[in-house]
Amino acid sequence: WPQTLQGKAKEFFDRYQTYGKPQGYKLKAMIINFPGGVPGDVGFFLNWAPDKA
């Protein structure tokens, strides 16, 4: 799915790949609303919590 990103979402993802992921940050993408029952907006969630043991 990353290759389908455009605009600001692509810029954010590319920056995450370059700077965030190598430092241990995690990224999750989720559909955050379903207007009329169909998938709507996508949200990016950045996490820096350590992995659970």
Q: Is the pLDDT of residue 52 over 90?
A: no
19 or 4, which is more confident: 19
Q: Locate the domains of the chain by residue range.
A: 2-34+41-47
pTM of the complete model: 0.71
pLDDT value of position 2: 83
* Distance of alpha carbon 53 from alpha carbon 18, whole angstroms: 26
Token reading at 28: 């999750």
Strand-pair partners of 28: 45
Q: pLDDT at position 51, please? A: 81
Is 24:48 a contact under the CB 8 Å cutoff?
yes
pLDDT tens sequence across 6-51: 999 899 999 999 999 999 999 998 999 999 999 999 898 999 998 8
